[in-house]
């Protein structure tokens, strides 16, 4: 048996179902009629990091120590990549490798360093080292021969491209990733995992331009057809599972969390006279799509450095720590309490902590902003690394940013933003029900795949086996779900070692 997982970053199930019904996405329509499909619920917040990490591990962010693209280091105001703060967990391909299955992994966003597996690995766009792009290292030469190119992850480069150039480049990269996928499919394998990022990038830029957006969904539809044709030519009964890390929707309302914290007296910042002007210019550039002009201007090095500094300035908040009780960082609504004994200049005493959190959560509810205390949505050994409060992004609050200098709590957004509820799940294979609509969560993918291979599921996985998608008379449906006990002694020993490394004990 083989399983091929195709990740489509940011794919929106609502759009796919509508366009498939209208005959505009024939391959998606074929896959749904021949398989099981439905919405895949993402994590909170619905960000690629941690969403992909949760999907391939079957665990919630508290167990893997990943809560965003970057997160606050314990006992510090510094923000770093999650992989630099916690130990690596076992992903689905690591488990399968240990059971002797041949695997390949291509462009998985959560892979920042390619590591040893029973097969081949190409790190994703956030790879932290060119030397660690592939496993084995010799694989790099083969990729060069087929002109492989990673995702564009430089936001300044993306924003400096014209609409036409961005659209062309994204399709070009999808084509190159398809060629790399076919290269791996020619090898001996049992499990494959590949991610295409085209849909995420275009929805961020082109959400309000349906014709252009549809063109990219149709490009993806054609690539899926090529993959299915390749499998059918080889008389291959591979199980194909198509997933996204989150869904998408319109970005109509942006919540400025630090502006609200300022207004409520929880946060103090230094006055920066030029900050409001910088924010206004940044908004105009995005709203009227003038970023390509910036790209033209910033080819001159001194101007480019100035532009980069201004851009970084708008992302940071000049906080006065000894007068701040709570603050936010980044773009996803993570609120941290400036707790005494935990933060370098913390002023909130431990006996004030719960009262302050309640006050913030209840205050946000009064303006229709839904927020969670971290223990309400996360569990696990890394819970203490999680933000103290996490804001839910929904149809009311589409995006959360931490910038200050606007003088208002809400501003009008544009283009598209992530959604939690309308991600994509499609499964097609010999044992999978046809035309069966269902619902799934992002944690369910990994345990379902392990069950398909007849491999015991680690008990610390949070997801369930999607047994309802399998035909009643199939061996997979009849097979008993087996669980594997986690070595508690080993886990505790590793946990203590990690706490020492973090300086917590």
Tell me what the pLDDT averaged over the chain comes to. 89
* Domain final position from 417, 449, 483: 417
Residue 94 pLDDT class (50, 70, 90 cuts): very high
In a domain, 504, yes or no: no
Q: Are both 413 and 384 inside the same structural domain?
A: yes
- pLDDT tens across 39-92, in order? 999 999 999 989 999 999 999 999 999 998 888 888 989 888 887 788 889 999
The model's pTM: 0.89
Structure tokens at 91: 């992903």
Q: What's the mean pLDDT in 397-425? A: 93
* Domain final position from 395, 417, 439: 417
Residue from 336, 358, 339 nearest 349 by CA:
339
**Position of tokens 């992302």?**
315
Percent of the chain with pLDDT over 70: 87
Question: In this model, does residue 387 exceed pLDDT 80?
Answer: yes
In a domain, 193, yes or no: yes
The Cα-based distances of 277 to 281, 309, 317, 406 in angstroms read 6, 14, 15, 9
Residue from 113, 63, 93, 92 nearest 495 by CA:
63
Q: Are both 439 and 409 inside the same structural domain?
A: no
Q: Angle 70-107-427 (CA atoms, 0-180°, nearest 5)?
A: 105
Q: How many domains is the chain partitioned into structurally? A: 2
Residue 283 pLDDT class (50, 70, 90 cuts): low
Q: Are both 104 and 182 inside the same structural domain?
A: yes
Domain range enclosing 375: 253-417
Spatial separation of the C-alpha atoms in residues 208 and 456, rounded to whole Å? 45
- According to the model, what pLDDT value does residue 487 have? 61
In a domain, 505, yes or no: no
Spatial separation of the C-alpha atoms in residues 142 and 249, rounded to whole Å? 38
In a domain, 366, yes or no: yes
Q: Are both 321 and 412 inside the same structural domain?
A: yes
Question: In this model, does residue 280 exceed pLDDT 90?
Answer: no
């Amino acid at each position: 048996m083989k399983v091929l997982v195709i990740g489509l970053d940011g794919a929106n199930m609502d759009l796919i179902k509508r366009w498939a019904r209208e005959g505009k996405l024939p391959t998606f329509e074929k896959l749904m009629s021949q398989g099981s499909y439905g919405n895949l619920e993402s994590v909170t917040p619905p960000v690629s990091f941690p969403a992909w990490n949760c999907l391939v591990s079957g665990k919630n962010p508290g167990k893997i120590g990943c809560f965003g693209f970057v997160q606050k280091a314990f006992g510090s105001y510094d923000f770093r990549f999650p992989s630099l703060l916690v130990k690596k967990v076992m992903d689905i391909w690591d488990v399968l490798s240990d059971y002797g299955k041949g695997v390949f992994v291509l462009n998985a966003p959560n892979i920042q360093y390619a590591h040893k597996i029973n097969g081949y690995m190409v790190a994703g766009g956030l790879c932290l080292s060119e030397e660690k792009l592939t496993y084995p290292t010799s694989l790099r030469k083969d990729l060069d021969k087929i002109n492989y190119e990673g995702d564009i992850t430089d936001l300044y480069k993306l924003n400096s491209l014209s609409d036409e150039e961005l659209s062309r480049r994204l399709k070009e990269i999808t084509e190159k990733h398809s060629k790399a996928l076919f290269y791996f499919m020619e090898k001996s394998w049992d499990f494959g995992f590949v991610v295409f990022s085209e849909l995420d990038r275009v929805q961020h830029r082109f959400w309000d331009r349906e014709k252009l957006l549809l063109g990219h969904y149709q490009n993806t539809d054609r690539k899926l057809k090529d993959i299915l044709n390749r499998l059918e030519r080889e008389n291959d009964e591979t199980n194909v599972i198509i997933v996204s890390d989150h869904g998408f929707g319109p970005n109509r309302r942006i919540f400025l969390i630090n502006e609200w914290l300022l207004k409520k007296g929880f946060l103090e910042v230094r006055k920066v006279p030029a900050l409001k002007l910088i924010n206004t210019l940044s908004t105009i550039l995005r709203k009227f799509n003038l970023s390509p002009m910036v790209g033209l201007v910033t080819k001159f090095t001194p101007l480019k450095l100035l532009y980069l500094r201004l851009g970084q300035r708008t992302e940071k908040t000049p906080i006065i720590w000894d007068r701040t009780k709570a603050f936010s960082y980044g773009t996803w609504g993570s609120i941290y309490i400036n707790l005494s004994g935990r933060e370098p200049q913390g002023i909130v005493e431990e006996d004030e902590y719960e009262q302050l959190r309640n006050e913030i959560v209840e205050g946000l509810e009064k303006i229709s902003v839904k927020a969670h205390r971290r223990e309400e949505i996360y569990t696990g050994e890394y819970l203490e690394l999680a933000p103290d409060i996490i804001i839910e992004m929904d149809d009311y609050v589409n995006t959360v940013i931490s910038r200050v200098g606007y003088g208002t709590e809400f501003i009008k957004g544009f283009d598209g933003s992530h959604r939690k509820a309308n991600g994509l799940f499609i499964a097609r294979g010999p044992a999978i029900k046809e035309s069966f609509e269902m619902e799934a969560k992002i944690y369910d993918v990994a345990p379902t795949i392990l069950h398909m291979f007849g491999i015991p599921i680690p008990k610390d996985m949070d997801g369930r086996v999607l047994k309802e998608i399998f035909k009643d008379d199939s061996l997979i449906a009849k097979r008993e779900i087996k669980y594997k006990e986690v070595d508690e002694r080993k886990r505790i020993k590793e946990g203590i070692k990690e706490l020492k490394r973090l300086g917590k004990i």
